[in-house]
Chains A and B, each alone.
Chain A
């Protein structure tokens, strides 16, 4: 995320004949039917907002059904964006604005709107049929139930149909322009440009002139409506000043994109010729397969396998043959890969396993986020089969963590499990493009010398075995899942040898602790009353909550873990410096038990499994209770 810095002076804008009010931060949610194009609307608003110089965070929230029956509450798709002049680290607690394209969207999302917040509703969609599908007996726009809010009632449907009428579209295509009308209005309301969206429409509909012109007309009409219409009192245009972010070249990136680029950067730093990415489609991990498939011209091979097992098997086969083998899935798919991860542990081959976690168990809630696969990552295999486990904290952090995963996998000849989640995979943020030439290379050396070779010859420092790749004369050897003799690599069932090999595999992974940075405190002092320890995508809300408490003078610190197995070697000492340790997690308490077991600290969990990220206030409240009680 961007570095906090003094805000830039507010920009004064003029909207039509009315002045604009200045807002520091705003949270908007676009909500509609899953066929209404809300994800596109949200991502375009995000792009224009990034270009306007605000810091931002987003949260796409969509149903698992591709096209759920129109108008139903379970078919509602939403995209939330939090943007502002300040440092933005979460997608926002409460909504300032809810754009509701139909009654179901209002019904599902109203609970998140703050009192006094604004509802922009398409009255054209609030017909009897849609009201009844959403379970309303009376029209909430008319029955006074929305009194605590500002309501901007607009017949977006009618206005869109009028706008696109000259292009002669069918009713269905004409109605699909409604999202562009709404986007145009919101871009006007927050004083954003339309250039990025116009460019997108030009490209998207390059070969469909009528659709292109109709969508552009709808976008412009929504914008012009804001500019000229007499709106009901209290509805104004706003200005959100630019955020003071670190200078540099920026783009927007979600966690999936930065993870893909990080894998490429890591393989490049390792000097490897080839990435072979084996994957089987699964929500929310499939995006990585798509992203990497589009990097094939750089030497990335993607293998859409017949199942999760074949996907990891292909990746391990590729690593055996000297490529960087990577596989990716979500919890249920990782479960299927378990046996193969064990083989990679036994054969000591580099492998990266990305888990975009989702709500479970079983199929659970595929499109909803959770971080409940930590036990699975650390412990979830038969027998003693340790692997390295690391986690990304923000969408941009996925890049660095991916590079680190490649470094550890190749240097230690081990599987590395890289944890992200549905939130990180989909959430976008402005990302300062890193200087890739500054990434320290960690070149891989393949064994070529037959003298003294056997497949389990180890580097005395890392305990990693040699990477001896088929095609190398004189190094012909056999590996497999059967236990190997420490001194020859041949099959061995000797009792003492198995003891030694088990200990060696464990020591190799434990030794990684000497090769990773000491644990830093993300915010606050290295000792105090309360340490709030997190991992993964809870970074933003924990950070903001700790910041709020510190501003009130409390001795609370935020510690955020990237390395989950092994832990940084100073972590135990660091935790001992606090009276209490609180561990917020989107699970029922996994890191907290690992910390308690490892360090015998009285760590306490703060847990949430609703499929939605923590709100800042939820964590801040928990901190307040503990800080004020002690």
Chain B
């Protein structure tokens, strides 16, 4: 079951695509994400036979059918639990969980929480479009207050969950964000996620052209992107805006971030915070930034590896090589008090 070390031809992105016709709506952001995943796997030359895509239910969860890898399209919300079982059976497999805002944060919120908390070595990619697509447009747990939908004709009265903040609260040790159509950025984020040992949580802002078109336009539109997007990089100052003149610093006298302009009011680049992806407090603040006053943080916001679940499980077993097939059953059955009845 381990990787075969025979040389193989270099795989291209299209080698990761299955022969099935893709059935998302024309213009759906999922197409771009699929392409980015193909590209990321090709860049990594990920062995298709050891790669498994696991999904729940929803538009995003059709994803595995379009991958020329192993794939398991499971039931609504439970993909992280199936993926945990797969990793327990064979930790050598490279397992990706594809989920959405309804699948991962509503019906499956519990499983997402526990997969992150346990730190199972998975890449969990959550396509957030702030709407239920497959069931025809109901509001989702990430929909903003006031969202009008067939089930909220007067607008939603619920507060949305912030996926990254949820993940951080659940104990995730890798949290990143990207946008469906910013392919090079998304590819880099996916590659970082795969390199991380433990549960990696990636939120992708994904545009649903049919039921929630342009819901992220306030920060994804080309005209505003520079001002409303903060592309974080470990060790680099938190700068954004045209010419990278805008930056984030700690507001004096308060535990919150504020946007400043370098060169104005005596602000220099040294006043701007430097991104530290191991800093959990900074991660919490970055995940909470909301446009229009502050930019949306994108990139690897938090990465601080810790012990991973299945490795710990096998450490207690002794070794991955221990096999049930070799169990000394006679010894097991004779442990404790026994007695002989003579014939």
Contacts and interface: CB of A to CB of B under 8 A. Distances in A.
A484 B114 CA distance: 31
A302 to B, nearest CB: 9
A433 B1 contact: no
A272 B324 contact: yes
B205 to A, nearest CB: 26
Contact of A297 (B55, B64, B317): B317
Interface string A268-285: 100111111010000000
B71 A276 contact: no
Interface string B51-72: 0101100000000110111111
Interface string A332-364: 000000011001000100000000000000000
Interface string A440-455: 0000000000000000
Interface stretch (A85-93, A161-169, A472-480, A523-531): A472-480
Contact of B48 (A271, A319, A476): A476
A470 B317 CA distance: 23
Nearest to A263: B324
Nearest to B113: A306
Nearest to A340: B75
A307 B84 CA distance: 13
Contact of A252 (B67, B84, B337): B337
A278 B70 contact: no
B253 interface: no
A97 B4 CA distance: 68
B318 A297 contact: yes
B196 interface: no
B213 interface: no
A327 B246 CA distance: 55
B78 interface: yes
A309 B50 CA distance: 26
A325 B85 contact: yes
Contacts of A475: 49
Contacts of B86: 317-318, 320-321, 470
Interface of A: 47, 50-51, 53, 196, 245-252, 261, 264-265, 267-268, 271-276, 278, 295-301, 303, 305-307, 309-311, 313-325, 339-340, 343, 347, 432-434, 436-437, 469-482, 490-491
Contacts of B316: 296
A480 to B, nearest CB: 3
A317 B72 contact: yes
Nearest to A251: B338
Interface stretch (B254-262, B278-286, B326-334): B326-334
A273 B18 CA distance: 31
A107 B42 CA distance: 75
B81 interface: yes
A105 B340 CA distance: 36
Interface of B: 1-2, 4, 18, 20, 48-50, 52, 54-55, 64-65, 67-75, 78, 80-86, 88-90, 92-93, 110-111, 113-114, 313, 316-318, 322-330, 332-334, 336-343
A571 B319 CA distance: 47
Contacts of B75: 313, 339-340, 343, 481
28 contacts: A50-B339, A246-B341, A247-B342, A247-B343, A249-B338, A249-B339, A278-B85, A297-B318, A298-B327, A299-B322, A299-B323, A299-B326, A301-B88, A306-B114, A313-B82, A316-B74, A317-B83, A317-B84, A320-B86, A321-B85, A433-B338, A471-B50, A473-B49, A476-B68, A478-B18, A478-B64, A479-B72, A491-B65
Given A274-B89, A321-B90, A491-B65, A251 B334 contact: yes
Contact of A478 (B48, B72, B336): B72
Contact of A303 (B67, B85, B339): B85
Nearest to A243: B341
Contacts of B83: 317
A187 to B, nearest CB: 15
A432 B110 CA distance: 44
Contact of A251 (B80, B82, B328, B336): B336
B1 A469 contact: yes
Contact of B73 (A301, A310, A315, A478): A478
Given A251-B334, A472-B49, A264 B341 contact: no
B214 to A, nearest CB: 31
Contacts of B48: 476
Given A246-B341, A322-B90, A476 B333 contact: no
Contacts of A261: 329, 332-333
Contacts of A491: 20, 65
Given A50-B339, A265-B329, A298-B327, A249 B334 contact: yes
Q: Which of B85, B114, B339 is packed against the most chain A CB atoms within 10 Å?
A: B85
Nearest to B2: A471
Contacts of B113: 306
Nearest to B69: A476
A251 B325 CA distance: 24
A41 to B, nearest CB: 17
Contacts of B2: 471
Contact of B332 (A298, A303, A322): A298
Contacts of A247: 340-343
Nearest to B6: A473
Contact of A264 (B50, B73, B327): B327
Given A314-B88, A317-B89, A318-B85, A473 B325 contact: no
Contacts of B65: 478, 480, 491
Contact of B81 (A252, A297, A301, A317): A317
Contacts of A271: 325
Per CB-CB distance, the 8 closest pairs between chain A and chain B, nearest first, are A480-B73, A317-B85, A247-B343, A314-B85, A313-B81, A478-B71, A310-B81, A321-B89
B333 A433 contact: yes
B1 A480 contact: no
Given A310-B81, A343-B74, A476-B48, 19 more contacts: A51-B339, A247-B341, A249-B339, A268-B329, A272-B324, A299-B326, A303-B85, A306-B81, A306-B110, A309-B78, A310-B78, A321-B90, A322-B90, A325-B85, A433-B333, A471-B49, A477-B71, A478-B73, A480-B71
Contacts of A469: 1, 90
B109 to A, nearest CB: 11
A315 B327 contact: no
Contacts of B324: 264, 267-268, 272-275, 298-300, 324
Contact of A273 (B71, B323, B342): B323
A267 B337 contact: no
B70 A476 contact: yes
Contacts of B92: 471
B93 A471 contact: yes
Contacts of A307: 110
Q: Which of A51, A315, A474, A476 has the most chain B CB within a 10 Å cutoff?
A: A476
Contacts of A319: 85, 89
Nearest to B3: A471
A56 to B, nearest CB: 13
B90 A297 contact: no
B333 A471 contact: no
A147 B110 CA distance: 60
B49 A299 contact: no
B85 A315 contact: yes
A246 B54 CA distance: 52
A219 to B, nearest CB: 17
B73 A482 contact: yes
A176 B82 CA distance: 46
A323 B318 CA distance: 18
Contacts of B110: 306-307, 310
B90 A313 contact: no
A301 B313 contact: yes
Contacts of A268: 324-325, 327, 329
A305 B85 CA distance: 10
B199 to A, nearest CB: 14
Nearest to A480: B73
A90 to B, nearest CB: 21
Contact of A196 (B52, B84, B326, B337): B337
